[in-house]
Amino acid sequence: MPTSAASEPTPKNPDGRFGYVPVQTRSARFKSTDLADFATVTGREAVWKYIPVAKFADLLAEGIDGAPYNISSTEHADISVEWVSRDDTRIGKAGSPEERASANAWTSFEQALAITVTGETAKEITVTRSELGNSARGAHVIIEAKPFSQATVILQNTGDARLTENVEIILGESANLTVVTVQEWNAEAVHLSNHFASIGRDARLKHVVVSLGGRIVRVSPSIRLAGSGSDIDALGLYFADAGQHLEQQVYVFHDAPRSRSRVNYKGALQGTGAHAVWIGDVLIGSKGAGTDSYEQNRNLVLTEGTRADSVPNLEIETGDIIGAGHASATGRFDDEQLFYLQSRGITEEEARRLVVRGFLTDIVARIGSPELEQRLLSAIEAELLTTNGN
């Protein structure tokens, strides 16, 4: 577990503007909604050290486009989708930026896209973004589930993009919300997305990240279990091909008693230069009595020339917990599984595809949207049919 270190002097922010930053508890990271409070990114900072920052310098520079953009959406009577002004009282309720790209989006956006869920019956809506273009853009999204409401909200991303954004997710008492973000961008797209979730009393969030397309995609969920009895299932699925960088930095903060979290991310990599990064931080705070927490990451390497970085972290500030643990593994095909399938007349190529499909569909099957699940299974199959991502 991390330990605290003395700090003389304490710098203003974690980007190192005034020098060395000591080891600190995860919740104590510097936060600001103002771009000017963050130093220029060099790539040596802890939060940026795995990602090729030179390839998205435009998203870190001031003056990016923050205007509303075209969306399409399915409809439901109990879900509203609208653009709201910067003074909307929900903005900033779930969290605030800890790094420069996030702060740049916050500083630049003109209006926020607000998705508001009411009604106690289950329903589903899909919001699609496919016309963002190739200019640097900043955006802000609010997803609010009113007390006792239920819904699945799917954010579908396709086409070209150079986007940095913040997504705030707010769950009222006893709300039950599933949020799925699907990245199927065009090959050269860049997407940096910070999700901030605040989960109220006895509320349950299922948060699913699916990253398949784009040159550089980083989705960083920060989830605060703010109410007693709150619950989070954080799921992730990614498939990195040659030259792709797919990154997830997950933070779960147990800040209330009797809260529960399960984090489960799985990814496959194939092709020269395919790079996947998963960082999982779990903090069980001093108010987290009765916490039940577990996080894991699994990576399946399909070819030579790939790289998977997996870093689980666990910090505990109270001894009164039910359980807490973490696991991480990266490996190749299970030879016994392949042998078993081949011994029953299945070709080696088809056996490999079956193993990968079984490895990844565990996450897909837990989304809870049959139509989306079937479409994602088809997308995974298409990935497997490529020639080693080359």
pLDDT tens digit sequence for 1-41: 343 333 333 444 544 444 455 556 889 999 999 999 999 99
Q: How far apart are CA 106 and CA 108, in angstroms?
A: 6
Report the alpha-carbon distance of residue 197 to residue 204 in Å, rounded. Answer: 11
Structure tokens at 385: 């049919």
Instruction: State how far the Cα of 147 lies from the Cα of 116, in Å rounded to an integer.
Output: 11
**58 pLDDT higher than 70:** yes
Percent of the chain with pLDDT over 70: 89
Rounded to 10 degrees, the C-alpha dihedral 103/29/12/218 comes to: -40
| Per-residue pLDDT, 22 | 53
* Residues 274-281, mean pLDDT to the nearest whole number: 98
**Interval 234-264: pLDDT, tens:** 999 999 999 999 999 999 999 999 999 999 9
Return phi, psi of residue 349, to 5°.
Answer: -60, -45
3-state secondary structure the chain: CCCCCCCCCCCCCCCCCCCCCCCCCHHHCCCCCCHHHCCCCCCCCHHHCCCCHHHHHHHCCCCCECCCCCCEECCECCEEEEEEECCCCCCCCCCCCCCHHHHHHHHHCCEEEEEEECCCCCCEEEEEECCCCCCEEEEEEEEEECCCCEEEEEEEEEECCEEEEEEEEEECCCCEEEEEEEEEECCCCEEEEEEEEEECCCCEEEEEEEEEECCEEEEEEEEEECCCCCEEEEEEEEEECCCCEEEEEEEEEECCCCCEEEEEEEEEECCCCCEEEEEEEEEECCCCCCEEEEEEEEEEECCCCCEEEEEEEEEECCCCEEEEEEEEEEECCCHHHHHHHHCCCCCHHHHHHHHHHHHHHHHHCCCCCHHHHHHHHHHHHHHHHCCCCC
pTM of the model: 0.91
Residue 108, pLDDT above cutoff 70:
yes
Which residues on adjacent β-strands are paired with residue 180?
154, 208
Q: What is the CA radius of gyration of the chain?
A: 20
Question: Rounded mean pLDDT of 208-230?
Answer: 98
pLDDT tens per residue, range 321-374: 999 999 999 887 666 666 555 666 677 677 777 778 888 999 999 999 999 999
Alpha carbon of 356 to those of 16, 90, 119, 137, 307: distances in Å? Answer: 41, 41, 39, 35, 17
The CA distance from 187 to 164, in Å, is 17
pLDDT of residue 256: 98
User: In sequence order, what are the beta bridge partners of 162?
Assistant: 136, 190
- Hunting for tokens 């009577």 — which residue is that? 77
